[in-house]
């Protein structure tokens, strides 16, 4: 299969690209290379004859038309997005333009391409989204695919809008789509502005480790390589027009996750132990959802998928990867916003 992956130089997108190429798929990586993208994320497959790169922005319709007509993919996996909640609080405009207008452009380009190709039965448009569109849970319950949307941040609102557009293009124009909503991802190649890499790198450098509020916010943690595996499965086997929630089956409070990372750092860098002494509670961000949890029954029962990596094993692998790959993360520390407290509103 020939797959066009948007955002393939980003965190989740690059995991999809690496796995797809390893499995023998031909991949066209379309990425604008904005601040969180990094060509090094796909260096392991960049010399493969199955890999192609196109630097283009999903807000540029002419570029999308050119890439589709040139490469003629069998499927599109749409991961290009602005994704950091804190940045969406400080500057929501980029999120509206990329996540909503960009998705609209891609849908229209895909519809026109699909039509020009004679509307082949095998074509798929896979839209990758987040569980944040569902809002916040109480102490119990889980998000299902039928949970009403209730986004609370500019980021989640923009992703909710993009989800609705994709469903509308399926219902109105018959575009063959599948959708997925995932829980919090972590793992290698994660841009150092999100919780897990921030904790690792701050612990490594003996800097305060910021934890929002009381640290009691709960997330379901999904190892990024497990996520990539699930995404390719949904692309190949998912029912058209249907959405699938993808979770790691690993719920944890933020403070417990941070303490687990600190314990791994104590094991690997005992000279600076205990790293837990660096934990610093900071003012919570506005609209911080208290709890997310994924009900994985649909993808488990219909497609037979379950995550393979526990959060303990995944964090161990992730900490070891960051300690072994300073050449990857050190150049990123100079990019705007890295290491700063964002999202104060």
- Catalytic annotation, residues: 131-132, 155
Instruction: Residue count of the chain, please give it.
Output: 345
List Cβ neighbours of 287 (8 Å cut-off, separation of 6 or more): 89, 152, 153
Distance between CA atoms of residues 280 and 74, nearest Å: 49
List Cβ neighbours of 68 (8 Å cut-off, separation of 6 or more): 4, 109, 110, 113
- The two three-digit tokens of residue 8, written as one number: 């393939």
Which stretches of 98-189 are DSSP H helices?
Answer: 103-116, 154-173
Up-side HSE of residue 153: CA atoms within 13 Å toward CB? 28
Give the closest residue to 28 by CA, choosing from 38, 40, 41, 13. Answer: 13
- The two three-digit tokens of residue 68, written as one number: 């589709």
- H or E element in which residue 186 lies: strand 184-186
Dihedral angle at the C-alpha atoms of 47, 50, 55, 60, nearest 10 degrees? 180
Helix (H, G, I), strand (E, B) or coil at 129: strand
Give whole-number Cα distances, 241 to 115, 124, 127, in Å. 18, 10, 11
Distance between CA atoms of residues 167 and 147, nearest Å: 15
Up-side HSE of residue 61: CA atoms within 13 Å toward CB? 10
Q: Are 239 and 302 in contact (CB under 8 A)?
A: yes
């Amino acid at each position: 299969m020939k797959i066009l992956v948007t955002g393939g130089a980003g965190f989740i997108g690059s995991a999809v690209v690496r796995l797809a190429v390893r499995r023998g798929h031909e991949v066209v990586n379309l990425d604008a290379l904005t601040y969180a993208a990094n060509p090094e994320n796909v260096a392991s497959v960049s010399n493969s004859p199955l890999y192609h790169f196109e630097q283009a922005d999903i807000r540029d319709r002419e570029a999308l038309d050119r890439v589709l007509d040139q490469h003629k993919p069998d499927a599109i996996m749409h991961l290009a997005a602005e994704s950091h909640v804190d940045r969406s609080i400080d500057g929501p405009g980029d999120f509206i333009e990329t996540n909503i207008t960009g998705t609209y452009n891609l849908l229209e380009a895909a519809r026109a391409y699909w039509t020009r190709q004679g509307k082949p039965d095998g074509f798929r448009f896979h839209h990758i989204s987040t569980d944040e569109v569902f809002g916040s849970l109480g102490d119990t319950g889980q998000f299902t695919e039928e949970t009403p949307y209730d986004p609370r941040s500019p980021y989640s609102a923009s992703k909710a809008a993009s989800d609705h557009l994709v469903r509308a293009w399926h219902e109105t124009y018959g575009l063959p789509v599948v959708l997925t909503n995932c829980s919090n991802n972590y793992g290698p190649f994660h841009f150092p502005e999100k919780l897990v890499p921030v904790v690792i790198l701050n612990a490594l450098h003996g800097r305060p480790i910021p934890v929002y509020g009381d640290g009691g916010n709960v997330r379901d943690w999904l190892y990024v390589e497990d996520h990539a595996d699930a995404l390719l499965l949904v692309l190949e086997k998912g029912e058209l027009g249907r959405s699938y929630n993808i979770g790691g089956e690993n719920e944890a409070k933020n403070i417990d996750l941070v303490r687990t990372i600190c314990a791994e750092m104590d094991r690997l860098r005992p000279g600076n132990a205990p790293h837990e002494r660096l934990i610093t509670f900071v003012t919570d961000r506005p609209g911080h959802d208290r709890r997310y949890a994924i009900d994985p029954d649909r993808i488990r029962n219909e497609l037979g998928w379950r995550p393979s990596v526990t959060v303990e094993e995944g964090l161990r692998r992730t900490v070891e990867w960051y300690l072994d790959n300073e050449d990857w993360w050190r150049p990123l520390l100079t990019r705007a916003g890295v290491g700063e407290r964002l999202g104060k509103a």
